Amino acid sequence: MTTMYDSTNPFDIPPTAEMVAGYIDGLYAWPPAGWARFAGAKQWRVAVSPFTNDGNVLDVEAGDAAPSQAPGWVTRRRAAGIAPIIYVQASSWASVRLAFAAQRVAEPYYWIASYDGDPTIPAGAIAKQYADPTLIAGHPHYDVSNVDSNFGGGGSQIGEEVTHSEKRAWARLAYVAGLGREPESDEALNGWAEGIADDGSNVDSVVSRIIDSPEGVAHLARVSALTSAKPVLVPHKHPASEAVAD
């Protein structure tokens, strides 16, 4: 696992951080000097607008992108060769997943926010933002996340060499999102992972084979039935003085 720091102010993050996340647009976009401060670190570049065709993370929360806008942004970033990530509060995660199912777009990676002090990454996600300043000694101006090291950490570009762990993560996410369950066995998961090209160029077609299977179609029908009722959303937004992706 890798510890990642994020803040609206890059100069509030410890300079020794090995992984950081910051905004590329909006009111709190990091200046070039902020990114240069962490030139040797893995970086997640967060967009708050679904119309910003840049970065590898979209911030989906009240005041930023809406759940229904996430699939379009993910599609555009994949076309640009990026493996996209959606940042979302745990309370709104289901709404985002329903949006992907309804729009027939393969789900992306997820970075889930839940400030409970527990770094355990929930099933179906690759990162968890688990501590805000109120939970950190000294109350510094940054949040802390736990990132699955198997993911590769930097928001890999399609076309770069994809590790076996990343292939397994893609296949597992397709199972969880497209079939509503975990793979039936480790052997089955490895089988799908081995079908993904080393440069990740065919990942969408492999994912589509899973979600377009008879079981996937049946799962989509069940999910679509849920969307016929108006969901009750709980908006969440931190005060402007707090940290990123918040």
pLDDT of residue 103: 86
pLDDT of residue 245: 56
* Coil vs helix vs strand at 231: coil
pLDDT of residue 180: 81
pLDDT of residue 159: 46
**Structure tokens of 126?**
């690759």
Please tell me whether the overall predicted TM-score, pTM, comes out greater than 0.85 for this model.
Answer: no
pLDDT of residue 224: 67
CA 189 to chain centre: 21
Low-confidence ranges of the chain (pLDDT < 70): 151-161, 224-246
Contact (CB, 8 A) for 15 and 7: no
Other C-beta atoms closer than 10 Å to the C-beta of 18 total: 14
What kind and span of H or E run contains 46? strand 42-47
pLDDT of residue 107: 86
The CA distance from 30 to 11, in Å, is 10
Domains and CATH numbers, the chain: 2-151 (3.20.20.80), 164-227 (no CATH)
Give 200's DSSP letter.
Answer: -
Contact (CB, 8 A) for 5 and 129: no
pLDDT of residue 232: 46
The CA distance from 90 to 110, in Å, is 10
The CA distance from 18 to 42, in Å, is 6
Give which of 13, 54, 52 is closest to 34, Cα–Cα.
13
pLDDT tens-place string over residues 65-81: 999 999 999 999 998 88
- Give the DSSP per-residue string, 162-193: PPHHHHHHHHHHHHHHHTSS--S-HHHHHHHH
The CA distance from 152 to 202, in Å, is 18
pLDDT of residue 219: 81
Give which of 244, 160, 146 is closest to 197, Cα–Cα.
160
pLDDT of residue 39: 93
pLDDT of residue 110: 94
Contacts of 144 (CB under 8 A, 6+ apart): 3, 4, 5, 129, 130, 131, 136
